[in-house]
Structures are given as structure tokens and as C-alpha cells.
Amino acid sequence: MIGYDEVPDYEIKRQIVEVAKMMNRKGLVGTYEGNISVRKKGKVYETPTMQSKELLTEGKIICVDMNGEQLEGELKPTSETPMHTKCYTLRNDIHAVVHCHAPHCTAFAQAGQDYVDMASPEFQILFGRVPCLGYGTPGSPDIIDELPNYIAEFDVVFLAQHGVLAVGETPLEAYSKIMSVEMLLQTYFTRKMLFPESMCDLPACEIEALMKIRESNRKG
């Protein structure tokens, strides 16, 4: 899909609700956590603040402009709206942003750690690195200070002490990237627990070959 300009509003809202319920089912969000948005021209459709993802409906989706001013909907926008609009100003090619507190991603974020896994071919092909941005108070402008340094290059980033954010062409794509990192981190965690002394890294020549696959996938 290239953009949402011709997609009806009801379909955008349906996609946001579908992904919200998937995130809830997979345990990526607490009751009031996480947010999902879609950009259509100069409008951003998003999940409202303080609403259960499990009980979300299309009628609860709100709409703001690129300055965060509310255009549609009864419920209030999330305080993390500037994080979403900032991603859209930095990336013309993306139309959806998903943010949540997926447990393994958030553990890395709270430790201020980048995620790099030299033992997993899948991680190397799909991501290469998930960087952790510096801390900003949730909902404050400083949370987005470092986005310009990373979001042009990385589709998934950790937000220090806080959670994870992903961008994509659709909310399903952005969600799937977070789910993928979360699953890879589960394996990483289990491997480190069971085999703390084992050297599992792939050889450098193999990492280089996988990096080339990643780069050609990105261009394609």
C-alpha cells in the first residue's frame, strides 16, 4: 500500500482497532498503555488516551492535525501525540506509528541498552541494530529530541526507561516489527539464561553476508 490518501476513514479506524486488539492479545500493552496512529494527508488518526485497547472501537478513534490540535472525536488525544507527528515530519515514506511497552523491549529500554544480536541470522537480516534513544519525560517535548538522529535509519527504536516505537506503511507493519523484536528478544533472553558462558555469535563473514541481504531488502 502506498499511502492512505484514498483509503476511507472507516477503514483506517478499523485497522487501528484491529492492531490495538492484537497488541492487547499478545500482552504488549497494559490496560492504558501504548498508542497507534495513521497519517492521511495532513491528518493523524490515533488511539485516545486512557482507553483500554481490549475495549477499543472505531467510534473512539480521534483525529488531530500535524500540530496535535484535535479535529475529530469525543475522547482526548494521548500526551504522546508529538512523538507520532514528529515521525511523520521526519519520514515521508511511513504512514503509521505504533508505540507500546512490550516487556522485553522495555527491559532493554529501561537499561538504556541498544539491542544487537550477532547470533541470530533473522535479527541481522531484519534489523541489524535497535538503538536506544536518550531519556525524555513521557508526554514532554524532550522525549522526541533524539528521534531525528535515528528514525531516518531505523524503523524500530527503544525510548530510554520507557518503551518501544516503530514506524511502517501500515499499523499492522509497524506492530509486526515490534512483535518481531519482542520475539527475538525472548530467544535472546532464554539463550543468555540457559547458556551464559556460550559464545554463540556468527562469524564476521556471515554477519557481512546477512548485512548485504538486509541492505538489498531495504532498497527493494
| List of residues contacting Zn ion (CB under 5 A) | 163
Residue 190 CA to residue 216 CA, distance in Å, equals 30
Q: Please say which residue, 62 or 102, places its beta carbon nearer to Zn ion.
A: 102
Minimal distance in Å, beta carbon 122 to Zn ion? 26
Q: Please say which residue, 136 or 163, places its beta carbon nearer to Zn ion.
A: 163
Residue 37 CA to residue 59 CA, distance in Å, equals 15
Buried b (16+ CB within 10 A) or exposed e, 21-46: ebbbeeebbeeebbbbbbbbeebbbb
Q: Which three cell numbers stand for residue 22?
A: 492484537
Q: Please say which residue, 77 or 163, places its beta carbon nearer to Zn ion.
A: 163
Helical segments of 59-128, H only = 81-90, 103-110, 121-126
Q: Please say which residue, 163 or 171, places its beta carbon nearer to Zn ion.
A: 163
